[in-house]
A = this chain, B = another copy of it.
Amino acid sequence: MAQSVSLKMLATHLGLTVSTVSRALNGYTDISPATRERVKRAADELGYRANQNARRLSIGTPETICYLMPRYASSGTQPFVAQLLQGLGEALSKRNWDLLVSHAGTSKDELAQIDRLVRSGRIGGLVISRPLKNDPRIRLIQDLKCPFVVHGRTAACDDYAWYDIDSARAFVDAVDHLVGLGHSRIAFVGAPLQYQFAQDRLNGYQTGLKGNGLPGDPDLVQIAEFSDEGGEVATNSLLDLPEPPTAIVCVSDAMAFGALAAVRARGLMPGKEISVIGYDGLSFGAHANPPLTTMAQPQAHAGRRLGDMLLSIIDGEDPKKHQELQRAHLLRRQSDGPLQHVVDREKRSIREEHQ
Contacts and interface: CB of A to CB of B under 8 A. Distances in A.
Interface residues of A, number: 60
B69 A86 contact: yes
Contacts of A122: 52-53, 98
Tell me the interface secondary structure of chain A in the complex: mixed
A200 interface: no
Nearest to A121: B51
A81 interface: yes
B300 A284 contact: no
A50 interface: yes
A271 interface: no
Contact of A82 (B1, B81, B145): B81
How many monomers of this protein are in the complex? 2
Contacts of A83: 75, 77
B261 A287 contact: yes
Interface string A116-136: 101111101000000000000
Given A2-B144, A79-B79, A288-B288, 9 more contacts: A1-B118, A3-B121, A4-B119, A47-B119, A53-B56, A76-B283, A77-B83, A99-B102, A261-B287
7 tightest A-B contacts by CB? A289-B289, A49-B119, A257-B287, A81-B82, A49-B120, A53-B57, A4-B119
